[in-house]
Structure 1
Amino acid sequence: MDTGITIIICTYNGAPRLPETLRYIACQQVKPGVAWEVLVVDNASSDGSAELAATTWRKLSCPAPLKVLHQPQKGLTYARELALQEAAYEFVLFCDDDNWLSPGYVDLAFELMKDNPGIGVLGGFGELVFEQEPPAWMHYLTGLASGPQAITSGKTQYNAVYGAGCTMRKAVFAKLRQAGFHPLLSDRRGKKLSAGGDYELCYAAALAGYEIWYDERLRFKHFVPQQRISAAYYDRLMKEGAESLAVLIPYRLRVNQNCKDALYFNVNLLKVFIFYFKGLVMLLLTRTASAFRKKETTYLRLKLLSFVYKLYALRNYTSMKQNFRKVLDLERRLNSSRLL
Structure 2
Amino acid sequence: MIEVSVILCTHQPDRRLLDRVLKAVASQRGAPTREVIIVDNRSEPALEDDVVKASGVSPARLVKEPVQGLAFARARGIESARGRLFVFVDDDNILSTNYLSEASRAASENSKIGVFAGRAHGLFERQPDWLVRQHIARYAVRDLGDDPLIGSGEHWGPHEPFGAGLCVRANIARVFADLVRASGDAGGLGRTGRELASGEDSLFSRIADALGYQVGYIPSLRLDHHIKADRLSWRYLFRLIAGQARAHVIMDRICGRPDPVAPPPVWREPDMSLRRFLGRLRSPGLYEAITHIAWDHAYWREQRRNPSSGEIILARGLKALREFDLPATPTSEKPLT
* TM-score (ref. length: structure 1): 0.78
In structure 2, the CA distance between the partners of 1:328 and 1:79, relative to structure 1 (3 Å rule), is: closer
Q: Is the 8 A contact 1:90 1:169 kept in 2?
A: yes
Q: 1:89-128 deviations in whole A, cap 9, x for unaligned?
A: 1111001100111111110001111222222211111111
Q: Is the 8 A contact 1:77 1:186 kept in 2?
A: yes
The residue aligned with 1:143 is 138
Q: Is the 8 A contact 2:140 2:164 kept in 1?
A: yes
The residue aligned with 1:36 is 34
CA distance in 2, matches of 1:315, 1:244: 14
The residue aligned with 2:7 is 8
CA apart distance, 1:162 = 1.2
In the alignment, structure 2 segments of 5+ residues that lack a partner are 265-270, 328-337
Q: 1:291-332 deviations in whole A, cap 9, x for unaligned?
A: 66xxx6xx742233223322332223x429995796366333
The residue aligned with 2:106 is 112
The residue aligned with 2:74 is 80
1:192 partner SS: coil
Q: Is the 8 A contact 1:245 1:313 kept in 2?
A: no
In structure 2, the CA distance between the partners of 1:166 and 1:74, relative to structure 1 (3 Å rule), is: same
* TM-score (ref. length: structure 2): 0.79
Q: Is the 8 A contact 1:8 1:39 kept in 2?
A: yes
In structure 2, the CA distance between the partners of 1:185 and 1:50, relative to structure 1 (3 Å rule), is: farther
Q: Does 1:307 align with 2:296?
A: yes
CA distance in 2, matches of 1:92, 1:285: 44
Q: Is the 8 A contact 1:246 1:323 kept in 2?
A: no
Q: Is the 8 A contact 1:21 1:100 kept in 2?
A: yes
Q: Is the 8 A contact 1:91 1:167 kept in 2?
A: yes
What fraction of aligned residue pairs are identical, expressed as a percent? 21
The residue aligned with 2:335 is none
CA distance in 1, matches of 2:110, 2:281: 50
Q: Is the 8 A contact 2:197 2:243 kept in 1?
A: yes
In structure 2, the CA distance between the partners of 1:88 and 1:272, relative to structure 1 (3 Å rule), is: farther
In structure 2, the CA distance between the partners of 1:52 and 1:195, relative to structure 1 (3 Å rule), is: farther
CA distance in 2, matches of 1:330, 1:307: 27
Query: Residues 253-292 of structure 1: matches in 2 within 5 Å?
Result: 265-266=257-258, 269-270=259-260, 281-285=275-279
Q: Does 1:331 align with 2:319?
A: yes
CA apart distance, 1:333 = 4.6
Query: Residues 1-340 of structure 1: matches in 2 within 5 Å?
Result: 2-16=1-15, 17-31=17-31, 34-51=32-49, 53-58=51-56, 62=57, 64-141=58-135, 142-148=137-143, 152-157=147-152, 158=155, 160-175=160-175, 182=183, 183-251=186-254, 265-266=257-258, 269-270=259-260, 281-285=275-279, 300-316=289-305, 318-319=306-307, 323=311, 327=315, 330-333=318-321, 335-336=323-324
CA distance in 1, matches of 2:232, 2:178: 42
In structure 2, the CA distance between the partners of 1:40 and 1:210, relative to structure 1 (3 Å rule), is: same
Q: 1:225-271 deviations in whole A, cap 9, x for unaligned?
A: 1121211111222223332234211355x5xxxxxxxxxx44xx225
In structure 2, the CA distance between the partners of 1:229 and 1:330, relative to structure 1 (3 Å rule), is: closer
Deviates more, 1:221-230 or 1:239-248: 239-248
Q: Is the 8 A contact 1:24 1:102 kept in 2?
A: yes
In the alignment, structure 1 segments of 5+ residues that lack a partner are 255-264
The amino acid across from 1:170 in the alignment is: A
